[in-house]
Structure 1
Amino acid sequence: MNILLTGGAGFIGRWVALRLLNDGHHVWILDDLSNGQESNLDEFRSHPGLQAFIQGDIKDEALLEKLFHETKFDICYHLGASINVQDSIDDPRTTFNNDTVGTFYVMEQCRKHWVKVVFMSTCMVYDRCTDETGITELHPTKPASPYAGSKIAAENMVLSYYFAYGLPVVVIRPFNTYGPFQKTGGEGGVVAIFINNKLAGKDLHIYGEGTQTRDLLFVDDCARFVVEAGYSNKVDGQIVNAGLGRDISVNDLALLVVGEASRIKHVEHIHPQSEIQKLLCNYSKAKELLGWEPQVTLEEGIARTEAWIKGRLVH
């Protein structure tokens, strides 16, 4: 198939690109490199399936029009977005324009050219989990940050194209994804930052009490889920979760990574109002409709991520 992947130079996007290429598709990657890095694509630069890398913005309507006009795409995997919760609180305009308005521009091209859409949303749209059965797709949403608000708005826009026009779309909500190629600095995920600090001999800093829990999904499992959602018509017009189905407190995660309680420090939370106290995924819908379930345990995923970060430090 001919596939357009927005945000393909990003952390998850890179893994999605790899999987699509390995599955034999022709892939066009569009990324403005505000989050992503072109070096993430180095490994498959010469892959015969990679048709083009376009450095450009999803808010550039003329660019989108040209792209869709020149190539008949079968699927658009739309991962391009502003993804930082803290940034969205400090600067809501940028996040709204990228995540909501940008998504509208992508949807318009997909409608005009009849291209299936896989829209990458986030578990951050959910209200806290209240029991051990986990968060299903019917769980209440709560836009605790402009990031979550922008994603919910975009989700509704995407789904409206299914109900109004019959366009095949699916909204996916992966839980906290981690693994190789995730940034290890301030914008990175908690696992990458913790491992990086451990290897650098630094303390691990936890915002607030550290009792908040996360359901951590290894990136290879996440990419497989993203790709499968595009291949199947069983999830058209649906919202689908993906996660490990196991949550861990940030305190326990820090201990799992570093192994020494003395190296864990608690610091004041910058934006405590956007914290979700308990995140635990119920992925039974993904399992039922897509036959998807996670294959990598948290312990194995952390080991693989640490090996990758170590390898980068050596170089």
Structure 2
Amino acid sequence: MNILVTGGTGFIGRWVVGRLLKDGQKVWVIDNLANSSLDNLNEYAGDENLQRVKIMDLKNRASLQELFRENAFDLCYHLAASINVQDSIDDPETTFNNDTMATFYLLEECRKQKVKMVFMSTCMVYARANDEQGIDELSPIKPASPYAGAKIAAENMVLSYFFAYGLPVVVVRPFNTYGPFQKTGGEGGVVAIFIHNKLKGEPLNIYGDGTQSRDLLYVEDCADFVVEAGYSDQLNGEIVNAGTGKDITINRLAELISDGQVPIHHIPHIHPQSEIQKLLCNFQMAERKLSWTPKVPIEEGIKQTEQWIQSALHRKEPFQS
């Protein structure tokens, strides 16, 4: 197939691109590099199926239209987004434009060419899990930040194109994803930040009391899920979760990563109003309809991530999303 990946130089995007190339698909990548680097695709530079990597902003409608005129795509994985919760609180307009308006522009091109879209949403749209069954696709949503609100708005636009135009679409909601190539700064995930601090001999800082919990999904498992959602016709017009079905408190995660080597501190929360106390995924739909289950346990995922960050520190490379 001819496949377009937006945000394909980003953390999850580069793993999606890698899986598609491994499958022998022809892949086009677009990204505005606001939160990523072309270096993330260096591993695939010699792959003949990587057709083009184009630096482009999805809000540039003329460039987007030209891209769809020049190429006949079969499938589009839409991962490009502004993802920082605090940034969305400080500057909601930028997040709305990047996450909602840009999605609408892309949808219009997909509609004209009948290109299936897999839309990357987030578990941050949900309210907290109320029981040990976890959050499923029918669980209540709570837009506790403009980021979550922008994603919900974009989700609804994507699904409306299925019902109004018959455009095949899937909305995917992965839970907290971590692994190699994730940023270790403010826009990175908690696992990458903790590991980076540990390797530099710095304390692990926990926002709040650390009793909040997360369902942590290794990035290769996430990429496999996203790709399979696009390959299958079983989920058209649906929302589908991916996670491990196990959550871990931030306190326990810090203990696991620090391994007694660096201190753990608790500091005031920078956006307590947007905190979700418990995130636990129920991924039964993905298991039932895609035969997908996560393969990498948290201990192995942390080990792989630490090896990658240690290697990058040794090479003194900048950390990219």
Q: Secondary structure at the match of 1:139?
A: coil
User: 2:35 — aligned with what?
Assistant: 35
Rounded to whole Å, the distance in 1 between the matches of 2:165 and 2:177 is 32
User: 1:213 — aligned with what?
Assistant: 213
Q: Secondary structure at the match of 1:244?
A: coil
User: 1:184 — aligned with what?
Assistant: 184
Residue 35 (structure 1) shift: 1.2
Residue 259 (structure 1) shift: 1.6
Matches within 5 A, 1:55-94: 55-94=55-94
Task: Write the deviation string for residues 222-257 of structure 1: whole angstroms up to 9, x where unpaired.
Answer: 000000000000000000000011000000000000
Rounded to whole Å, the distance in 2 between the matches of 1:45 and 1:272 is 42
CA contact (8 A) 1:8 1:36 kept: no
CA contact (8 A) 1:27 1:50 kept: yes
CA contact (8 A) 1:222 1:242 kept: yes
Rounded to whole Å, the distance in 2 between the matches of 1:53 and 1:269 is 38
Instruction: Give the AA of the match of 2:291.
Output: G
User: 1:7 — aligned with what?
Assistant: 7
Residue 45 (structure 1) shift: 1.1
Q: Secondary structure at the match of 2:68?
A: helix
Rounded to whole Å, the distance in 1 between the matches of 2:190 and 2:201 is 16
Rounded to whole Å, the distance in 2 between the matches of 1:37 and 1:210 is 32
Structure 1 residue 174 corresponds to structure 2 residue 174: yes
Residue 46 (structure 1) shift: 1.4
User: 1:96 — aligned with what?
Assistant: 96
Rounded to whole Å, the distance in 1 between the matches of 2:228 and 2:189 is 24
CA contact (8 A) 1:30 1:53 kept: yes
User: 1:258 — aligned with what?
Assistant: 258
Rounded to whole Å, the distance in 2 between the matches of 1:141 and 1:49 is 39
User: 1:193 — aligned with what?
Assistant: 193
Matches within 5 A, 1:1-315: 1-260=1-260, 263-315=263-315
CA contact (8 A) 2:76 2:117 kept: yes
Rounded to whole Å, the distance in 2 between the matches of 1:178 and 1:154 is 23
User: 2:319 — aligned with what?
Assistant: none
Aligned length in residues: 315
Instruction: Give the AA of the match of 1:248.
Output: I
Rounded to whole Å, the distance in 1 between the matches of 2:177 and 2:35 is 15
CA contact (8 A) 2:8 2:14 kept: yes
Name stretches of at least 5 consecutive residues in structure 2 with no aligned partner.
316-321
Q: Secondary structure at the match of 1:58?
A: coil
Rounded to whole Å, the distance in 1 between the matches of 2:199 and 2:39 is 23
Rounded to whole Å, the distance in 2 between the matches of 1:160 and 1:108 is 12
CA contact (8 A) 2:211 2:251 kept: yes
Q: Percent identity?
A: 66
Residue 261 (structure 1) shift: 8.5
Rounded to whole Å, the distance in 2 between the matches of 1:114 and 1:274 is 37
Q: Secondary structure at the match of 2:36?
A: coil
Instruction: Give the AA of the match of 1:78.
Output: H
CA contact (8 A) 1:204 1:254 kept: yes
Name stretches of at least 5 consecutive residues in structure 1 with no aligned partner.
none
Instruction: Give the AA of the match of 1:189.
Output: G
Q: Secondary structure at the match of 1:198?
A: helix
Residue 260 (structure 1) shift: 2.1
Rounded to whole Å, the distance in 1 between the matches of 2:255 and 2:111 is 48
Instruction: Give the AA of the match of 1:238.
Output: E
Rounded to whole Å, the distance in 1 between the matches of 2:213 and 2:205 is 15
Compute the RMSD of aligned alpha carbons.
0.8
Residue 178 (structure 1) shift: 0.1
Q: Secondary structure at the match of 1:41?
A: helix
Residue 141 (structure 1) shift: 0.3
Instruction: Give the AA of the match of 1:7.
Output: G
Residue 185 (structure 1) shift: 1.0
Q: Secondary structure at the match of 1:118?
A: strand
Task: Write the deviation string for residues 6-62 of structure 1: whole angstroms up to 9, x where unpaired.
Answer: 000000000000000110011000000011111101111111010000000011111
Q: Secondary structure at the match of 2:118?
A: strand
CA contact (8 A) 1:125 1:152 kept: yes
Residue 262 (structure 1) shift: 6.4
Instruction: Give the AA of the match of 1:6.
Output: T
Rounded to whole Å, the distance in 2 between the matches of 1:203 and 1:235 is 43
